[in-house]
Structure 1
Amino acid sequence: MSTPISNQYVHDLDRQHVFHSWSTQGALNPLVVAGGEGCTLWDYDGKRYLDFSSQLVNTNIGHQHPKVIAAIQEQAASLVTIAPATANLMRGEAAKRILARAPTGFSKVFFTNAGADANENAMRMARLYTGRDKILSAYRSYHGSTGAAIVATGDPRRVPNEYARGHVHFFNPYLYRSEFNAANEEEECARALQHLRRVIECEGPGAIAAILLESIPGTAGILVPPKGYMQGVRKLADEFGILLILDEVMAGFGRTGSWLALEHFDVMPDLIVFAKGVNSGYVPAGGVMISKPICEHFDTNFFPGGLTYSGHPLAMAAIVATLDAMSEEGMVENARDIGAQVLGPGLKKLAERYPMIGEARGVGLFWALEFVSDMQKKTPMPAPVMQEMKAALTARGLLSFVVENRIHVVPPCIVSAAQVNEALAIFDEVFALFAPRFG
C-alpha cells in the first residue's frame, strides 16, 4: 500500500533527503506546494496562495500555462533530447524569436542552462574578443552562483566564493542610499558616472574586457537607473574600447512592461544575457544574445566553450511557446498597464501610509518596498522582523519575495487588477500590524 501524499509527508521527505541552496539546513521549514495555475498555487490541504514572488521572479507567464505545457509534451513525443552540435528545429525557432525582441544588430544566440552560466559565457566571449582580462561589475548586483558569476556578483554572498580572477566592483546609482552624497537623480547619475570613470582609469582601461550590468538590478533592490546613466556607461565603454554586457536574466521578457528592460534606457549593449522569463523556467534555459561584430570574430576564431544541454529541445519548445503566448495574449502590455495604473500607485499609497516603508520603487511588475526601522536615519529593518512579516503574509495566502530589508513585489505578467488589489489589501493588513512598532 502506497503512502498517502500529504503536506506532512512531502515536508518530511524533503527534510530527510533534499539539500537546499543558500541555507543553514537544520533551520529550514519549506512551504509545501502541490500544484498551481496562473497566479495561484496550492498545497495538499487545499490552502491556496496568490504568488506575488513569481517564485524566483521567473514565472512571468504564471503557472501551468496550457500552451507551453502542450508544446513541451509535443516536443517530448517527437525528440526529447539531442546534442548541441546538431541543427534542431526548435533551437532555431527559439533563437529567431529571441532575436526578434533584441535591438538591431544582434545576430545569434548561444544557449545555456540558466542565467549564471549565461553570464559565465558572456564574460568568456568578452575576454576572448578583446584580449583583455578584467570584468567590472556593480557592488549592488547578482549574476549567479557559478564560479565567475558569483565573483562578478557584488552582494556579500560572493565573499566566501571568491575563486575567480579579474573582477573589480564599483558603486551603481541608488539615490535612496547614495554613496555620492547626491541630493537628486541628476547628481546621483553624474557622480556615479564620474566614479565609474575613475575606477576604469585606476584599473587600466587596456586591461578591462567588459562592464557587466543588470539593466535594472533585481535581487539588489530593483534599482531603476536614473535618466542618462545607462547611456553614460555606454559612452564610457566606447571611449575606452570596453564591451558592455547587460544582464536581463531577471528584468527581461515582460517583467518591466517591455520585452527587454534595456528598452527603457535607449542603450545598445554588445552582449545581452537572459534566462528566467524567456520560458518562465518551465524547463531550465538561458543564453547570450550576441551582436554582429562579436559573431563575426568567432567566424574565424575558435570559441572554447560549450554545454551538453545547450539548446535542449524541451527548453527550446518552451521558449517558442512562451514567447508566442506572451505576444498573442498581450502579457507585456498587461505588465506595463497593470504596473502603471494599479500596482505602482497602490504601493506608493502604502509607502505614504506607513513611515516604515522608506521607499517604493519600480517599473512594470518589478517593484520593491524598502523597510526601515527609523525613517530619518534610514536604518534597515532588522532581518527577524522581515521574516515575521513574510510569515504573516504567507499565513494570509500571499507569497512574497523578501530580500534583506525589502519586499520585492513581482507577480506574473498575467496578473489582473483584481488580484493586485487583493494583494494590496493583504499588504495593508499585515503592515498595519507592524506599524505601531516602527511608526
Structure 2
Amino acid sequence: MTLLETSATSTPEDLLSPEETYRLDRQHVFHSWSAQGALKPMVITRAEGSYVWDGAGTRFLDLSSQLVNTNVGHQHPKVVAGIVEQAQRLCTIAPQHANAARSKAAQLIAEVAPEGLNTVFFTNGGADAIEHAVRMARLHTGKYKVLSQYRSYHGGTATAVNLTGDPRRWPNDYGSAGAVHFFGPFLYRSHFHATTEAEETERALAHLEQLIAFEGPGTIAAIVLETVPGTAGIMTPPPGYLAGVRELCDRHGIVYIADEVMAGFGRTGRWFAVEHFDVVPDLITFAKGVNSGYVPLGGVVISDAIAATFRDRPFPGGLTYSGHPLACAAAVATITAMHEEKIVENADRIGREVLGPGLRELAERHPVIGEVRGLGVFWALDLVLDRETKEPIAPYGGTSEAMAVLVAACKANGVLPFTNYHRLHVVPPCTVSDAEVREGLAALDAALSTLEAHLGAA
C-alpha cells in the first residue's frame, strides 16, 4: 500500500516506525545550527505534560521545555481542544480580515501586558517579532541604529541575528544592519570589575550612557534587551538596571524594546518578566510561551504612542500568516488555561520553594557548579573547573568532552537537558509539579556526580 492509498486520517506516526522516521530525517531533513553529517537526532514519538518518549519507548523528564517554550507542558488537553475546534470552524484566513481567534488573543495579551501597551501585531515567531519591532522603532523615531547586549540572542533572521550577541551572529554579521553591541550587567563574570550588585548596575549604566554619547543619541532608534537573557545564560539584571535603561531611553528619545520571547508568559513566575523590575517598555516582543509552541506564533505588543504613529500612516510590514487562526486559537486556550489553573503562580512558587532551593543545595554538594541563577522555572547552572578562577568547563561559543559527558549522564538518568557552552539550563514547563522537580533534581545530582568523576579522572 502506498502513502496515497492510506486512510486520510492516518498520521505520520501511524505510517512510520521510529527507525524509518530516523532514516528519512537523515536523508531529507536539513537541521538548523548544525553540521549535518554529525547529527544523530533523538526520535520523539509522543509527549505528555512534563515528559517525552523516544523511539525505544524510554521516558524522559523534559527539563528543556524543548526550546524553553512548552510553558503549559506537552499536549495540554485544553489547548489541543482549542486547536481542534478552531480547525473545524476556520483553519486559515488572510490577515486583512478580522477573525475571532486573533481578536480574542490580542485582547488577552493586552490584558496581561503593562499598562499603556494595548495593541498587538502578530508574527510567526520571535525572530520576525524582533524584525517588525525594530522596523516600528525606526519609523517612529526616524533614526536607524539599534543597541543590544553582547550576551543575547534575538533570532535567526537578518536584523535579529545581527542584534544577537552570541557567536551565532558571527557567520551572518556584515556590519550593515545598524546594530551596535554593548556589555550588559553580569556580576558573576563582570566586565566592569564590580564586586556588588550596586556597583554592577552603576558601572553598566555608565558604560551604556557613554556608548550612547559616542554613537550619537540622534542616530539611535532603539535599545533591544532580553529582560532576562535566556540562551545566553539566564542572567537576572541587578536592581535598578532596567529602570536606568528606561531613563536613558526617555532622555534621548530612544525606543525601549523588551525581548520577552523566552522570558514571557509565566517563565519567570510573572506574565512578563518586566513586572519583576517595575519598568514599562515601549514595545514587547513575544512568542514561545504564548501558546507553548503548539502552532507557530509570535508578535509585538505596542505602546499607545507608537501605535498612534501608524494611525494614519501605513505600516510597511506584514506576513501572510499574521494572526493565523489556529495559532491564535492555541494562544487563547493557553492564556485561558494559565488563568484558570494558576500556571503562572505555580511557576513562581516552584522557583521560590522547590527548584531554586534544590539547585542551591546541588551547588553545595557539587563544586563544579560555580553559580546558580534564575527566577520561576528559568534557571541556569554555571559550570566551572575551578570556583576561584571561574574557568568554565567549555569555551565561550563552543562545547567540550565534559559537557558531552554531562548530557549523556542526564539522558541516562531519564532527563532531557538544555545545555549551552558551559551551562546547564533547568527550564521545565510552568506546570511542573513538586514531585517532578524533585525527580529532576535527583537525576541532575547523579549526572553531576558522573561529570565530576570524569573531570577527576581526566
Paired position in structure 2 for 1:151: 162
C-alpha distance in 1, partners of 2:455/2:203?
33
Structure 1 portions without partners, runs of 5+: none
The alignment partner of 1:169 has SS state of strand
Aligned to 1:322: 334
Q: Which residue of 2 aligns with 1:25?
A: 36
- Aligned counterpart in structure 1 of residue 61 of structure 2, from 46, 50, 55: 50
Q: For 2:115 and 2:106, how far apart are their aligned partners in 1? A: 15
**Which of 337, 350, 375 is the matching residue for 1:363?**
375
Q: Map 1:26-425 to 2 at 5 A.
A: 26-163=37-174, 164-382=176-394, 383=399, 384-425=401-442
Shift of 1:9: 2.0
Q: Determine the C-alpha separation between the residues in 1 that align with 2:23 and 2:29.
A: 10
d(CA) in 2 for partners of 1:284 and 1:315?
A: 6
Structure 1 SS opposite 2:332: helix
Q: Distance in 2 between matches of 1:125 and 1:21?
A: 28
Deviations 1:12-50 (A, max 9, x none): 121111100000100001111000110011123221111
3-state DSSP class of the match of 1:13? helix
The alpha-carbon distance between structure 1 residues 198 and 415, as it changes in their structure 2 partners (threshold 3 A), is: same
**What is the distance in 2 between the residues matched to 1:234 and 1:407?**
31
Deviation, structure 1 residue 331: 0.5
Q: Deviations over 1:370-429 (max 9, x none)?
A: 101122211110222112201111122100100000011000011000000001001111
1:6 Cα deviation from its structure 2 partner: 3.2
State the Cα deviation string for residues 203-262 of structure 1 (Å, max 9, x = none): 000000000000100010001000000000000111111110000000000000111100
| 8 Å contact from structure 1 (residues 5, 44) kept in 2 | no
CA 1:180–1:10 in 2, change beyond 3 Å: closer, same or farther? same
Contact 2:409 2:450 in 1 (8 A): no
**Partner secondary structure for residue 15 of structure 1:** helix
Cα pair 1:368 1:409 within 8 Å, conserved: yes
In the alignment, is the contact (CA less than 8 A) between 1:355 and 1:438 conserved in 2? no
Q: Give me the identity figure in percent.
A: 60
Any conservation in 2 of the 1:367–1:410 contact (CA below 8 Å)? yes
Task: Name 2:11's counterpart in structure 1.
Answer: none
Task: Quote the Cα distance in structure 2 between the aligned partners of 1:339 and 1:405.
Answer: 22
Alignment pair present for 1:11 and 2:28: no
SS of 1:19's partner is coil
Q: Matched residues in 1 for 2:364 and 2:252: separation?
A: 44
Contact 2:406 2:450 in 1 (8 A): no
Residue identity opposite 1:394 in structure 2: K
Give the AA of the match of 1:358. Answer: G
Q: Tell me the alpha carbon deviations over residues 303-343 of structure 1, each in whole angstroms, 9 at most, x when there is no partner.
A: 10000000000001000000000110110010000111000
Scaled by the length of structure 2, the TM-score of the pair is: 0.94
How far off its partner does 1:437 sit?
4.8
RMSD: 1.2
Answer yes or no: is the 8 Å Cα contact 1:6–1:45 preserved in 2.
no
Q: Write the distance in 2 (CA, Å) between the matches of 1:136 and 1:312.
A: 31
**CA offset at residue 433 of structure 1?**
1.7
Asked if structure 1 preserves the Cα contact closer than 8 Å seen for 2:402 and 2:455, the reply is no
The one-letter code matched in structure 1 to 2:313 is N
The amino acid of 1:33's aligned partner reads I
Cα distance in 2 for residues equivalent to 1:375 and 1:43: 36
8 A Cα contact 2:138 2:144, kept in partner: yes
Contact 1:356 1:438 in 2 (8 A): no
Pick which of 376-385 and 143-152 moved more. Answer: 376-385
Aligned length: 439
User: Is 1:284–1:315's contact at 8 Å kept on the other side of the alignment?
Assistant: yes
Deviation at 1:7, TM superposition (A): 2.8
> Which amino acid is the alignment partner of residue 428 of structure 1?
D
SS in 1 for 2:310: helix
Structure 2 Cα separation of the partners of residues 78 and 42 of structure 1: 32
Mapped partners of 2:403, 2:453: distance in 1: 15
Task: Report the 3-state secondary structure (helix = DSSP H, G, I; strand = E; otherwise coil) of the residue aligned with 1:34.
Answer: strand
TM-score of the pair, normalised by structure 1: 0.98
8 Å CA contact 1:209, 1:242 repeated in 2: yes
The offset of 1:298, in angstroms, is: 0.4
Instruction: Supply the distance in 2 between the matched residues of 1:54 and 1:290 (Cα, whole angstroms).
Output: 27
Aligned partner of 1:66: which letter? P
Question: What are structure 2's unaligned runs of at least 5 residues?
Answer: 3-13
- The more displaced of 115-124 and 375-384 is 375-384
Using the TM superposition, give the Cα deviation of residue 4 of structure 1 relative to its aligned residue in structure 2, in angstroms: 7.1
Quote how far apart the aligned CAs of 1:300 are. 1.7
Distance 1:78 1:5 in 2: 30
Distance 1:65 1:150 in 2: 32
Q: Look up the equivalent residue of 2:240 and give its one-letter code.
A: G
| 1:360–1:368 CA contact under 8 A, matched in 2 | yes
3-state DSSP of counterpart to 1:305: coil
CA distance in structure 1 between the partners assigned to 2:270 and 2:292 by the alignment: 16
